[in-house]
Amino acid sequence: MHRRTFLKGLALTGGCAACSSLARASGNIPWNYAGDRGPEKWGDLNSTFRTCSLGAQQSPINITGAIRAQIEPLKLDWKVTAAEIVNNGHTIQLDLPPASTLTHNGRDYSLVQFHFHAPSEHQIDGRAFPMEIHFVHKHAETGDLAVLGVLVSTEGGEPNIPLSQLSAIFPRKNGQKGKLEKADVSKLLPPSLEYYTYEGSLTTPPCSEIVTWFVLKTPLIADPRAVKRFTALYKGNARPVVPTNRRLILESS
C-alpha cells in the first residue's frame, strides 16, 4: 500500500441507520441539530437525555485559558484494519474492530469508530474550524471513553490526501453502508500530537459525562473539496459550545 493511501476496497450496500452505534447510544429517540428536537431541547426529549441539559461537564467547549503542564504524550497504536463506513442519518461514521489503542494514565482504550462534524464542535480561543473528526476509544471494563478530536482547516499547508480519498466514497444516502478491506486511520492525523485535554461528555444524546477529551492543537489540512463533500450531506451537525463551568483544561508542552 502506498504510504499516503488511506483505504482499499469498497462495496456499498443498503442498511438501517438505526443499527449504527450512534443510534444505539441515543436509544433510537429522534433528535436533530435544529428546531424542536435541536440541542436546546435534547434534555426534554426523554428522561435518558436529561444530562444534556442538567450536566455540569458537557461538551464541546471553547478551549481557552488552558494551563500548560507536563502531561504525558499521546500514545497511539493504530493498526491498518478493515472498516465499515455508514451514513447514519447524523454523520458519516467508520466502525472499526478493536485492534487499535490509545493509552492514557496506564489504561488502554480501543478505537471503535470515528466520525465527522461540520463546522467543528470545539473552538480554540473562540475560533471554529470547517470540520472536526472524533476518534472514539472505549475502555473495555468501565465503558469510559477517550475521544481524540482533530480539527480540520482548509488553510495553511498541503491538503491531506487520505481525507480526500475517504470523502470521495462517503455514502450519500441515509442508511447506506460500505465495507473497506483496509483503512489506515493514522493517515488522518496532523504532524503534531500536542493536545489539550479536559473531562467532558458525548456531544450527542444522551450526552453521558464519561469522556476524557484530547483535542489536538495542530489542525489537519484538508482540500476544501473534501469538506464540501461532507457538508453536501451534513452541514451544521455540530452541537454549540457549552459552558466550561470552571473545568481544568490542560495543554501539553
Domain extents in the chain: 7-252
CB 116 within 8 A of CB 230: yes
Q: Which of 2, 90, 134, 137 is labelled catalytic?
A: 90
- The predicted pLDDT at position 156 comes to 87
Angle CA 250–39–234, to nearest 5? 90
What is residue 26's predicted lDDT score, i.e. its pLDDT? 55
Low-confidence ranges of the chain (pLDDT < 50): 1-3, 15-25
Say whether 2 is catalytic: no
Q: Which three cell numbers stand for residue 163?
A: 481525507
- Taking domain 7-252, whether its CATH number is 3.10.200.10 is answered by yes
pLDDT digits (tens, 9 = 90+) for 19-68: 334 444 455 899 999 999 999 999 999 999 999 999 999 999 999 999 99
b/e per residue 59-96 (b: at least 16 CB within 10 A) = bbbbbeebeeeeeeebebebebbebbbbbbbbbbbbbb
pTM: 0.92
Q: What is the pLDDT of residue 16?
A: 34
Residue 19: the pLDDT is 34
How far from chain centre, in Å, is Cα 171?
17
**CB of 162 closer than 8 Å to CB of 184:** yes
